[in-house]
Structure 1
Amino acid sequence: MSGPKEELGEQRDSTKKKKKKKKKTESGKKRREKQQEEEGVKGGGGGEEEEEEEGEKQQVEEEEVHSSDCIVLRGIFKLGKKSHDVLLTRTRLTWTPITPEMPTGEACVLQPGVMPLQDVFAVKVKRRRAAGQESGGPVLGVTLFCSRQRGRRLEEDTLHLHNASAEHTYTWYNTLKELVSGFSSRPKCLKVFINPSSHKKEAVHIYREHVAPLFKMADVSTDITVTEKKGHALSVMKECKLDEFDGVVCVGGDGSVAEVCHALVLRAQLDADSPEKPVKPVLPLGIIPAGSTNVVSCSVHGVRDPVTAALHIILGHQQQVDMCSFSSLGQLVCFGFSAMFGFGGQSLARAEKKRWMPSSQRREYALVKTLARLKPEYCHLSFIPVTKTTRDLFGHHSEDEDLDQDPGSVDAEGEGTWTTIKGLYLNISVMSIPCLSPHAPRGLAPNTSLANGSASLIAVGNTSRSEFIKHLKRYSSSSGQFSFSFVETHTVTAVRIRPRSQRSWSEEESEGEEGDSKTTPIIQTEGATFPWNIDGELVEIANEVLIRVHPRLITLYGEDMDEAESTVSCSCI
């Protein structure tokens, strides 16, 4: 026992001698450093101390890893028909088949199976029960319910550890239960909003068949509200006791998601007594896709799959996401993730007038009709670029535009320099997330991400119908959607769009389509004349619209995705 102490004492003595020697030879070291500088080599006076600090840091990290990898339990279980040596640490479960020695006396080395505990969401005791028996029965072992990655999808999987000893089984069950419940980001109680009118009115069925069983398996309690009309979720959120929940879940399409996100931010402002400045909500939001496009869900999950979305929620995978505020004449319209003016707004307005059609037919009808009557809008487009004079990603601009740029103009709030462009535009998009979808696997805005603190401004100038269709069809491919002379892209933090049309879109529609003018938009403001597509919802606004990006304003359950699963795009173009 005295050996290690003596060694430590010798190390301390040697360290003291080195320090004394270092003081005595300080003048000599300065001369050497000067000589090294003359030779172009920089002297390193603190090398030994830095090495000692790095060594101590590495030792602490190794101790932390070692403590997390310490064996908590070890036992024998059957997996299938073979016995395995099972090891449990605080971070993972490993199992190795028990094999007899070879005739030569050498043991056969097999690769162990590994399961990270962060992928396990439920642990149950397995029993043998007769038909109709609801409780009791002899113990068979422990079953672990976990998540398995299959491409971009998450799938439910199980691992059965068989052992007939009840004492042995419950020791493992209680320990596994304690370790799995130790993940703080996993929700225990959720507030759920279901929009029964989304897409094909399948939201309730999707939740009951695919999501509710997983929540029950993971011991997640829920309080469910089936919305009855637009604004219902907002009214419930204002009165809801949010401190009773760990998160909020929305089952629906992009419009439902936008409404719940808007409600969460407004409730956070109300709680913080901050009516002017957006406040980050305390609770994260989970999105179960049940709409027609689901671009927000695809952007955080990569797929339109309710099981994947539910498992992200159960496992507590969280992602900070940027949001935008949309206001006109100083009044807040809503919070959201994306907006389209021009072609995107007009096609949505026409689709909303044909709500009696199936969603896919309604969408194709609106696209064809809008392309047939394609015309640009004259706009004043102003924006604050993230980088200096980021005007056109490919160095082009439309011939119908004239550039009006005042480098010295700074926003009244000190945000930065505004750049103003006047011209004819077929479509203007502002998106703070990539907006992935099966029809656009790289996203409508592939140059942005979920939490980069900026938005992608895509301005499509005036061009022929055939060239515009080529631009639209490029979204279904991997790249090239912006490699046109009439398309500009900018990375921005704020955008102002001021339409300058002599006649309102509503007036032209009433003349061109008899009877359609009787249909009103989902969201309508006083004096509404220009249709906007904000997160899949129709908003008609008469005046200038100001869009601001608010970095990481909301937390969503999911992970940042670069690309979504693709499907066959619309056949109409």
Structure 2
Amino acid sequence: MSEVEDDLREESTKRTNREKRSMRKSREKREQERQQQQVEEEEEDEQSECVVLRGIFQLGKKSHDVLLTQTRMTWTPITPETPTGEPCIQQPGVVLLQDVFAVKVKRRRAAGKQSGGPVLGVALFCAQRKGRRLEEETLHFHNASSEHTHTWYNKIKELLTGFSRPRYVKVFINPSSHKKESVHIYREHVAPLFKMADVCTDITVTEKKGHALSVMKECKLDEYDGVVCVGGDGSVAELCHAMVLRAQLDAGSPEEPVKQALPLGIIPAGSTDVVSCSVHGVRDAVTAALHIILGHTQQVDMCSFWSLGQLVRFGFSAMFGFGGRSLARAEKKRWMPSGRRREYALVKTLARLRPEDCQLSFLPAKTSNKNLCEHRNQEQDPDSEGEESWTTNQGLYLSISIMSIPCLSPHVPRGLAPNSRLANGSASLIAVGNTSRSEFIKHLKRYNSSSGQFSFSFVETHDVSAARIRPQSVIGWSEEESEEDGDSNSRSSPIIQSEGAAFPWNIDGELVEIAHEVLIRVHPQLITLYGEEVDEAESTVSCSCI
């Protein structure tokens, strides 16, 4: 009886195992059918998108079924059925044509030959995104048929011409930027990509400050699709200023700023490159070049800076007080390497920290979120025009900054003005009131972190459409200032000098000395830059001097 029970139990176990295997195979088959249906649906979507070409190419060591539509290329490996007769499902590869910047016919050439040779297929040159960077990637599609290869080459070339991309650009190279590497950067990293993408160039190597401005006033801009600057923030500031002035000249509007139709591309070759980082996220020449080649554009706000009714310049950012004094000291030490020069100026200015006695007025942006300090007395500016409601604060300030872009950099990944955007029609006003040196240093250190740099009672921030800084006394600065002054004195009174002394301003990294009040107005989307809006820049080791 026990043997019969054992046989029945064994038979039941075998039957259960067979049922489990059958169920597992059924599930696998359903999953394969689902994947096959998904592939077929994707192919149907591609076909509904208007299939242009379909053919066989070899990628690596496997043959692939390649499909070309108006917007993409997809390829699926051609694989035999498994021994059980079940198809092997694989996900197709995809490349969007919007990421392809060049297509070439591949040939096998003999050594020393520059042309000719048997056809091997087509090569696609694409921009592949890796984090915030764009990198060049090459896809090789092999096919020995000359007719087949040229049919695909001509069609892909035709589709690529449908994208709005520059074909002829004016290039300005500042050979003196940073470590004098700009010419090398352009030749090694940018020129080969431009050549591959069939972007023609007209190059000017600037010889002195103001050279780009003079060339921009005279050249025939209607011949170009864009302008490219290879240099640091100073070169970018000069060229942006020149482009807006040229737009005013062409429009016959000397009073009001006019939007420049041509986009500007920035190849970073400076020490900080805040404008480039703000539209690329990295200080990388290849990334910047690929944004230009692919025609990625971003509308960007700019500011105009006025004094005594006269235009000083157009720009993106300005620093008064600590930022201006630091730059002025750095400019006196141009013989130092840039990194040491910045650290020297920073430490020296911190050691001789002084407040500025001035009247700060601002016109809040319509969508602004104001963080007002309770200890500031506010009143309406009697000089305000029309219905504009200005807010005015009077007091001692260690630093006043106004920025229409985030001003990202490797040293400050979140930017000097993290709440600002490239094209929101407003600027960030950051006013740092009088405080101790130690508290001010805490504020500066927090720029290296992700937040909290404005979480101090002596710091106020506003989103503004205009601002006015009016010094109440002529406050100067000097390298001969006594270092023995007590810290209490630096917190209570400004340094008074003779009439006519100029105040150092840091406008887009350039030192500008202005003796009177300055009016700043924001002009929405005044210029177009090649790039895209980013929230944070790629970070590097920050300054360790504070």
User: Does TM, normalized by the shorter one, top 0.5?
Assistant: yes
Question: Residues 47-446 of structure 1: matches in 2 within 5 Å?
Answer: 69-184=49-164, 186-387=165-366, 391-392=370-371, 396-397=373-374, 402-406=376-380, 411-414=384-387, 416-446=388-418
Hey, what's the Cα distance between the residues in 2 that align with 1:355 and 1:389?
39
For residue 528 of structure 1, report the CA deviation from its aligned partner. 5.5
Q: Does the 8 A contact of 2:368 with 2:464 survive in 1?
A: no
Alpha-carbon offset, residue 504 of structure 1: 2.4
Distance 1:389 1:307 in 2: 36
Give the superposition deviation at 1:410: 8.1
One-letter amino acid of the counterpart of residue 371, structure 1: L
Q: Give the TM-score normalised by the residue count of structure 2.
A: 0.87
Residue 411 of structure 1: how far off its partner (Å): 3.3
1:131 positional shift? 1.4
Counterpart CA distance in 1 for 2:245 and 2:313 is 10
- Structure 2, unaligned stretches of length 5 or more? 1-44, 484-498
Structure 1 position 387, deviation (Å): 4.4
Q: Which runs of 4+ in 1 moved over 4 A?
A: 65-68, 387-391, 510-513
In structure 1, C-alpha distance between the alignment counterparts of 2:115 and 2:393, rounded to whole Å: 72
Asked if 1 retains the 8 angstrom alpha-carbon contact of 2:475 and 2:501, the reply is: no
2:503 corresponds to which residue? Answer: 530
Matched residue SS, 1:539? strand
**Residues 251 and 290, structure 1, Cα contact 8 Å, conserved in 2:** yes
Q: For 2:112 and 2:328, locate their aligned partners in 1 and report how far apart those are by CA, in whole Å.
A: 55
SS at match of 1:291: coil
Question: What corresponds to 2:6 in structure 1?
Answer: none
Counterpart for residue 458 of structure 1: 430
Counterparts of 2:533 and 2:436 in 1: how far apart (Å)? 36
Deviation at 1:182, TM superposition (A): 1.1
Judge conservation of contact 2:368–2:463 (CA < 8 Å) in 1.
no
3-state secondary structure, aligned to 1:417: coil
Residue type of the partner of 2:425?
Answer: G
Given that 1:527 and 1:541 are in contact with CA atoms closer than 8 Å, whether structure 2 keeps it comes out as no
Structure 1 residues 525-550: Cα deviation after superposition (integer angstroms, max 9, x where no partner): x9561000000000000000000000
Identity across the alignment (%): 79
**Contact 1:68–1:91 at 8 Å: present in 2 too?**
no
Shift of 1:403: 1.2
The TM-score normalised by the length of structure 1 is: 0.83
Contact 1:68 1:90 in 2 (8 A): no
Which residue in the other structure is 2:34 paired with?
none
Give how far 1:349 is off.
0.2
Offset, 1:299: 0.3
Which runs of 5 or more structure 1 residues have no equivalent in the other structure? 1-64, 514-525
Structure 2 residue identity aligned to 1:79: L
Which residue identity does 1:405 align to in structure 2? E
In 2, Cα distance between equivalents of 1:331 and 1:460:
27
Separation in structure 2 between the aligned mates of residue 530 and residue 413 of structure 1, nearest angstrom: 30
Q: CA 1:81/1:391 → structure 2, altered by over 3 Å: closer, same or farther?
A: closer
SS at match of 2:377: strand
**Partner deviation per Cα, 1:93-128 (whole Å, 9 max, x = no partner):** 000000001122221110000000000000000000
In 2, distance between residues paired with 1:572 and 1:303?
A: 23
